[in-house]
Amino acid sequence: MTLLRLPTRIAAADLDEGAHVLDEPIVSAVNIAVAKARAIEAEPDEVVLTADTLVVCDDEVMAKPADADEARRMLQRLRGRPHQVLSGVALRKDDGVRWCGAVATTVVMREYTSGEVEAYIARGEPFDKAGGYAVQDEAFRPVERLEGCYLNVVGLPLCAVAAGLISMGVDVRAAGAPPCEYCRAGAGVVSIRSGS
């Protein structure tokens, strides 16, 4: 969010995300983001920004792994192949959702070894991450390349956020389509380089 140069504060959404999951993954991501936006109490004149990110492989959503075995299965399934990272974004002002968007990024994982997976699991890293990985993990470095928005994979596609804020009259610089200036700037923040 610092790339947008806007004042921010963090507020937690008390929400059962599973209750808002739908059959179509990208619609599900937007639906969860909208539910989060409605669940957060805002101060007057604040814009509430929420997002939800899903990892999808072979049309199946890969949630956060519950244990080491599930993390191992997920990471083995993703190894050396592409998948999609889908984020839904919602913006709300004055008690109503005003703008929603979705961003998809193709992620191609590298051919990491089973030993690298075991070391990653031993560090406890996969358990709070959709798909069991973090693109920005410096030790594991699971991603070979990305096609699209870098920041989407980290969890917040600023190109979509900026478009929504502009449509609501908030003064931010236009970002353009992914990979946009925010994607490129965010890539440096998380040490990822473009595959395109």
Of the candidates 90, 78, 86, the residue with the CA atom closest to the CA atom of residue 143: 78
DSSP 61-114: EE---SSHHHHHHHHHHHTTSEEEEEEEEEEEETTEEEEEEEEEEEEEE----H
175 assigned to some structural domain: yes
196 assigned to some structural domain: no
88 assigned to some structural domain: yes
Checking if the pLDDT of 130 tops 60, the result is yes
6 assigned to some structural domain: yes
Contact yes or no for 166/142 (Cβ under 8 A): no
Catalytic entry in 14, 23, 45, 52: 52
Of the candidates 24, 33, 31, the residue with the CA atom closest to the CA atom of residue 61: 24
Which residues partner with 49 through β-bridges? Answer: 91
132 assigned to some structural domain: yes
| Interval 2-38: pLDDT, tens | 778 888 899 988 898 888 988 999 999 999 999 999 9
Q: Kindly report the CATH number assigned to the domain that includes residue 130.
A: 3.90.950.10
Q: Could you tell me the two tokens for 65?
A: 């792994």
Catalytic residue check, 59: no
195 assigned to some structural domain: no
pTM here?
Answer: 0.85
Number of separate domains in the chain: 1
145 assigned to some structural domain: yes
Q: Could you tell me the two tokens for 146?
A: 């990305």
Average pLDDT estimate for 52-68: 94
**What's residue 174's pLDDT?**
58
**What's residue 193's pLDDT?**
37
141 assigned to some structural domain: yes
Q: Which segment of 6-10, 124-128, 144-148, 179-183 scores lowest on mean pLDDT?
A: 179-183
Q: Which segment of 69-83, 119-133, 182-196 scores lowest on mean pLDDT?
A: 182-196
| Interval 86-99: pLDDT, tens | 999 999 988 677 99
Residue 60: give the domain boundaries: 2-190
Q: Count Cβ neighbours within 10 Å for each residue of 134-161 and write b for 16 or more, e otherwise.
A: bbbbeebebbeebebbbbbbbbbbbbbb
Checking if the pLDDT of 69 tops 90, the result is yes
Q: Residue 170: CB partners within 8 Å, gap ≥ 6?
A: 6, 47
| Interval 141-159: pLDDT, tens | 999 998 888 889 988 998 8
Grade residue 101 by pLDDT with cuts at 50, 70 and 90.
very high
